[in-house]
């Protein structure tokens, strides 16, 4: 098989496996389905550019989330430049801030999911993303560290502390 | 609430995803931007999933199903030309035709299909006879099948009559009558050619029985004719003109095919002559104000012309030149 065909196959397989996760992340961050689809598209186009330039990507999944995170932050910045109010309201790295402010019906969440998001909202923002990456997208602390540009130890601590807070909020006890 | 339950609830967020259409369209958009990348959704059509499955078992099952469909479909096609005594004949009678029965939902179409089935049985008898293979069992089975079709035809035509379409009912009855009459005449001619063969006796009994059925069918037509005259405006002149044209066209076709067996030429000429005479009678009746009789006689003429057409079509397939075994049987008998 030609090298280009290998790259193409890798790309399509990755799209099939990861596009929903990337879209979900973008949708929860932007609360706008069209914007989420556009950003997801940009994520994969950029990923393709990296692939054909034969740059070394060790962890495809973490790399895709990194691109997605950066593009969402860019989108927030552009949005903020049009709205001073939003600059005051939204922390551009707060995972669910946009969901709470969402007045549109773009996010079709189950009652269970809404309940969980309501509870995560009460966490300190620093724990939102780690909890999301760890328990929704099932990423390892090492991968989360790569995305957020922190060390794996820091991420592990944040996951534990985030869970501790969540337990308190939800009136739960630690598993024996 | 335990950690497990919290984690389970968190994973509920997983339900947020693209619709399959969004996912596929988005890939197309990406593909437009980056060039020609094989879509993981291009082969996700119904057939794509069957032939490019993720599990090899789906492919094996698909191949097996295709094999079964190919063999059974092929068998059904081959069975269409089979004759009584052939291996595939039971497929034709017990599978193909009942399958077609189940796909006809209109009473009129069901009646027409029974006409077609009767024609098929009679043609099978003729083909068997032309091959010198017509035996008592074939005659018995074919008669049974024809009787069944006749009963079903009557049932469907009665239902169709209630729907209030007497002209279509008359047309179907004429078709049925003509088919039985025409084939009984073909069989009679075949019997006359090979009456001294071992199958001659079987053929003789068979064609006489069929001829009797034709008489029954023609008698039931009269009541329908009255319904047509009550509900439809019938122009005797127009019908008569059309029938005369049909007679002339049929005569032309016959004259252009001199290779027809003499027996069939005589039968066809006689039918056309009868039809001509009937048209004359119908004109007289109409002129004397007996419109109902005129209409009925014209239908008799139409039936005769239809018979002539059926014999014209079927005769070349069962002419004297196509009956080698009959010829052999005859010569064997003479020796």
pLDDT in tens, B255-286: 877 677 788 888 889 999 999 999 999 999 88
Domain limit, last residue, from A93, A128, A153: A93
Strand partners, B2: A173
How far apart CA B58 and CA B47 sit, in angstroms, is 11
B15 in contact with chain A, both atoms CB, cutoff 8 A: yes
CA distance A39 to chain B (A): 11
In terms of domains, do B208 and B302 share one?
no
Q: Which residues of B301-314 are buried (b: 16+ CB within 10 A; e: fewer)?
A: bbbbbbbbbbbbeb
B334 in contact with chain A, both atoms CB, cutoff 8 A: no
Does residue A101 fall inside a structural domain? no
CA distance A84 to chain B (A): 30
Residues of chain B with pLDDT under 50: 43, 320-335
Does residue A5 fall inside a structural domain? yes
The DSSP letter of residue B93 is I
Answer yes or no: do B12 and A116 touch at CB < 8 A: yes
Q: Closest to A136 (Cβ–Cβ): which among B10, B27, B33?
A: B10
A15 vs B contacts (CB less than 8 Å): 27, 30, 40
Chain A and chain B share a number of CB contacts under 8 A equal to 97
Does residue A104 fall inside a structural domain? no
Domain limit, last residue, from A58, A93, A128: A93
How far apart CA B296 and CA B288 sit, in angstroms, is 15
B30 vs A contacts (CB less than 8 Å): 15, 41, 44-45, 48
Mutation target to probe the A interface, by most A beta carbons within 10 A, among B4, B9, B21, B38 is: B9
Domain limit, last residue, from B204, B232, B260: B232
pLDDT in tens, A13-69: 889 999 999 998 898 888 888 899 999 999 999 998 888 887 778 888 999 999 999
**Chain B window 16-55: which residues touch A at a Cβ cutoff of 8 Å?**
16-18, 22-23, 26-27, 29-30, 33-34, 37-40
B7 in contact with chain A, both atoms CB, cutoff 8 A: yes
Q: Where in the sequence is the domain holding A113, given as residue range(s)? A: 109-176
The sign one gets for the Cα dihedral B247, B250, B256, B260 is negative
Contact status, residue B12 vs residue A113, Cβ threshold 8 Å: yes
A127 in contact with chain B, both atoms CB, cutoff 8 A: no
Strand partners, A173: B2
Q: Stretch A65-84: mean pLDDT, rounded?
A: 80
Does residue A100 fall inside a structural domain? no
| Number of structural domains chain B divides into | 2
Does residue B188 fall inside a structural domain? yes
A120 vs B contacts (CB less than 8 Å): 10
How far apart CA B306 and CA B214 sit, in angstroms, is 14
Q: Closest to B16 (Cβ–Cβ): which among A48, A107, A173?
A: A107
In terms of domains, do A122 and A162 share one?
yes
Answer yes or no: do A172 and B2 touch at CB < 8 A: yes
Residue of B nearest to A173 (CA): B2
Q: What is the pLDDT of residue B134?
A: 85
Domain limit, last residue, from A93, A127, A146: A93
Mutation target to probe the B interface, by most B beta carbons within 10 A, among A38, A46, A113, A169 is: A113
A113 vs B contacts (CB less than 8 Å): 9, 12-13, 15-16
The DSSP letter of residue B42 is G
In terms of domains, do A88 and A127 share one?
no
Q: Where in the sequence is the domain holding B139, given as residue range(s)? A: 106-232
Q: What is the pLDDT of residue A116?
A: 75
Q: Stretch A147-173: mean pLDDT, rounded?
A: 85
How far apart CA A28 and CA A154 sit, in angstroms, is 24
Domain limit, last residue, from B199, B232, B265: B232
Q: In 3D, which of A108, A107, A131 has the Cα closest to residue A119? A: A131
Residue of B nearest to A40 (CA): B26
A73 in contact with chain B, both atoms CB, cutoff 8 A: no
DSSP line for A26-68: HHHHH--HHHHHHHHHHHHHHHHHHHHTT---S-HHHHHHHHH
B17 vs A contacts (CB less than 8 Å): 20, 23-24
C-alpha torsion B294→B299→B303→B309, nearest 10 = 90
Q: What is the pLDDT of residue A97?
A: 55
Does residue B92 fall inside a structural domain? no
Does residue B55 fall inside a structural domain? no
| ipTM value | 0.79
DSSP line for B35-68: -----TTGGGSHHHHHHS-SSHHHHHHHHHHHHH
Q: What is the pLDDT of residue A81?
A: 64
In terms of domains, do B284 and B191 share one?
no
Burial of B144 (0-12, 13-18, 19+ CB in 10 A): exposed
Q: What is the pLDDT of residue B312?
A: 83
What's the pTM value of the predicted model, to 2 decimals? 0.51
B49 vs A contacts (CB less than 8 Å): none
Token reading at A15: 């799209």
Contact status, residue B149 vs residue B110, Cβ threshold 8 Å: no
Does residue A48 fall inside a structural domain? yes
Name the E strands within chain B: none
User: Which residue is it, tokens 């065909």?
Assistant: A5
How far apart CA A129 and CA B250 sit, in angstroms, is 90
Residues in chain B: 335
A175 in contact with chain B, both atoms CB, cutoff 8 A: yes
How far apart CA B185 and CA B188 sit, in angstroms, is 5
In terms of domains, do A71 and A126 share one?
no
Q: What is the pLDDT of residue B218?
A: 75
How far apart CA A167 and CA B6 sit, in angstroms, is 8
pLDDT in tens, B52-67: 666 667 777 877 887 7
How far apart CA A168 and CA B266 sit, in angstroms, is 107
In terms of domains, do A20 and A70 share one?
yes
CATH of the domain at A144: 1.10.10.10
């Amino acid at each position: 098989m030609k090298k280009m065909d290998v790259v193409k196959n890798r790309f399509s397989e990755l799209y099939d496996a990861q596009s929903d996760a990337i879209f979900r992340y973008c949708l929860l961050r932007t609360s706008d389905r069209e914007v989420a689809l556009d950003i997801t598209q940009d994520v994969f186009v950029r990923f393709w550019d990296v692939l054909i330039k034969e740059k070394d990507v060790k962890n495809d999944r973490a790399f895709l989330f990194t691109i997605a995170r950066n593009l969402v932050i860019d989108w927030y910045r552009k949005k903020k430049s049009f709205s001073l109010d939003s600059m005051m309201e939204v922390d551009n790295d707060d995972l669910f801030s946009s969901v709470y402010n969402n007045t549109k019906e773009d996010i079709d969440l189950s009652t269970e999911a809404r309940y969980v998001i309501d509870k995560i909202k009460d966490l300190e923002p620093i724990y939102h993303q780690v909890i999301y990456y760890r328990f929704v997208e099932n990423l390892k602390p090492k991968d989360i560290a790569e995305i957020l540009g922190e060390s794996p130890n820091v991420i592990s601590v944040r996951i534990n502390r985030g869970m501790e807070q969540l337990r308190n909020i939800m009136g739960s006890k630690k598993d024996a | 609430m335990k950690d497990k339950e919290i984690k389970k609830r968190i994973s509920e967020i997983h339900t947020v995803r693209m619709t399959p259409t969004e996912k596929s369209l988005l890939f197309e958009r990406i593909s437009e931007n980056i060039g020609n990348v094989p879509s993981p959704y291009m082969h996700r059509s119904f057939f794509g999933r069957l032939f490019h499955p993720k599990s090899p078992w789906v492919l094996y099952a698909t191949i097996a199903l295709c094999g079964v469909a190919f063999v059974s479909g092929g068998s059904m096609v081959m069975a269409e030309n089979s004759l009584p005594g052939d291996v595939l004949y039971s497929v034709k009678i017990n599978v193909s035709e009942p399958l077609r029965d189940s796909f006809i939902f209109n009473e009129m179409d069901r009646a027409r299909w029974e006409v077609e089935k009767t024609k098929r049985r009679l043609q099978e008898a003729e083909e068997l006879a032309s091959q010198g293979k017509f035996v008592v069992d074939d005659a018995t089975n074919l008669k049974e099948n024809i009787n069944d079709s006749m009963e079903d035809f009557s049932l469907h035509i009665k239902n169709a009559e209630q729907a209030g379409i007497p002209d279509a009912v008359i047309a179907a009855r004429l078709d049925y009558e003509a088919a039985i009459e025409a084939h009984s005449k073909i069989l009679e001619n075949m019997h006359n050619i090979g009456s001294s063969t071992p199958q001659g006796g079987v053929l003789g009994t068979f064609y006489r029985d069929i001829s009797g059925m034709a008489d029954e069918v023609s008698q039931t037509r009269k009541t329908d004719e009255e319904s047509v005259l009550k509900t439809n405006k019938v122009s005797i002149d127009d019908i008569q003109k059309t029938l005369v044209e049909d007679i002339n066209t049929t005569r032309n076709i016959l004259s252009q095919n001199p290779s027809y067996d003499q027996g069939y030429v005589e039968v066809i000429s006689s039918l056309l002559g009868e039809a001509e005479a009937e048209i004359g009678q119908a004109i007289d009746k109409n002129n004397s104000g007996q419109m109902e009789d005129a209409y009925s006689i014209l239908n008799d003429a139409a039936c005769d012309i239809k018979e002539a057409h059926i014999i014209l079509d079927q005769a070349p397939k069962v002419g004297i030149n196509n009956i080698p075994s009959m010829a052999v049987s005859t010569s064997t008998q003479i020796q």
